[in-house]
Chains A and B, each alone.
Chain A
């Protein structure tokens, strides 16, 4: 079974600053995907970014980028030029590929607060 650990329950930064959210995972699988989901107060789960484990290049989506260290089983999310609308819960999630159709395994989340 896979586990996902997010060690920062809450973080707070000033608007326009850069913030990094940590995520580590444990798995014996070699083929998998990693995701960051955002959950604002509306509760909607919104995909922020995803990374295929077989790709060495770190994924980027506008102000969001990841630092994927496969050997260390680390998958951190960097948010540049943070905005008030980035305030939300952020969940790191793991999905294995191959046999079966298991869903996502989530961490407990990090509550990110962007201060004006």
Chain B
């Protein structure tokens, strides 16, 4: 029962570095999402995907890129890290379109950009 798996759990980046946050789900869900959570705030949607090969922007997409080559994986790419991207990142998946409409979350990745 892995559910949604995010790696790494923690990462420190220097300004200008790049990295990819990994997300994988084993529930055969069609929809996947990336959120960020800043201190004292709720989660905000960065990007989402409705299926392999299809992605779209959420509320705060600037500075990020995503791809969805398989149903299982939905990596988030930071190309030029900035201090404003210091946050906790959550990946989620759901079987939206069915009655359930529940998003299941990974454990999060804490990222610091210094």
Contact = CB atoms under 8 A, between A and B. Distances in A.
A4 B59 CA distance: 14
Interface stretch (B16-24, B38-46, B62-70): B38-46
Contacts of B58: 102-103
20 contacts: A4-B42, A33-B101, A43-B88, A43-B108, A44-B108, A45-B43, A45-B92, A47-B102, A91-B43, A93-B42, A97-B101, A101-B48, A103-B45, A103-B92, A104-B43, A106-B42, A106-B44, A108-B40, A108-B42, A109-B41
Interface residues of A, number: 22
Interface in B31-89: 31, 33, 35, 40-45, 48, 50, 56, 58, 88
B11 interface: no
A70 B70 CA distance: 39
Interface in A60-105: 91, 93, 95, 97, 101-105
A58 B102 CA distance: 18
B79 to A, nearest CB: 22
Contacts of B41: 108-109
| Interchain residue pairs A-B with the least CB separation, the first 3 | A106-B42, A45-B105, A103-B45
Contacts of A42: 107
Interface string A1-17: 00010000000000000
B103 to A, nearest CB: 6
Say what secondary structure dominates the interface of chain A.
loop
A95 B31 CA distance: 14
A82 B39 CA distance: 26
Contacts of A102: 45, 48, 58
Given A101-B56, A101-B96, A91 B42 contact: yes
Contacts of A50: 101-102
Given A101-B50, A103-B35, A103-B58, A43 B42 contact: no
